[in-house]
Amino acid sequence: MTAGSDVALTGAVGQRANQLAEDVFCKPRNHNCWISPAAFALPAAGTLGNAGRSNVAGPGFYGIDMAVSRIFRVRESISLEARGEAFNLTNGVRLNAPITARNNNSNFGTVRTARDPRIMQVALKLVF
């Protein structure tokens, strides 16, 4: 969690926010509220925040990618390869990380983007 601005007046980027609560997640967690805005606050001007680095887990995900290929012999020196690939085979929603800049951002703690949906591709290759 970052302050999102130079609160400590040092010119350094990535300054931490103050963590106010031990449990920082929304109940229940969803894309509109992943991290509770009440759990973090901007530190006082000229001071550094107390939040640790990488102390809040974002949404996890799993992915199943699959590829199928087959080589067909047309003649002794000619072959045809057919290949099909699918990424995110189950087409599950895979959320990106929530917005972590606390600088009075109304979107703090929300997830606004997701990873790619199912992508499928096929190819034919003639080798001679």
pLDDT at 73 over 90: yes
Q: Which residue has the higher pLDDT, 51 or 78?
A: 78
**CA 15 – CA 39 distance, rounded (Å):** 17
Confidence band for 35, pLDDT divided at 50, 70 and 90: very high
Q: What sign does the CA torsion over 32, 38, 44, 48 have?
A: negative
pTM for the model stands at 0.71
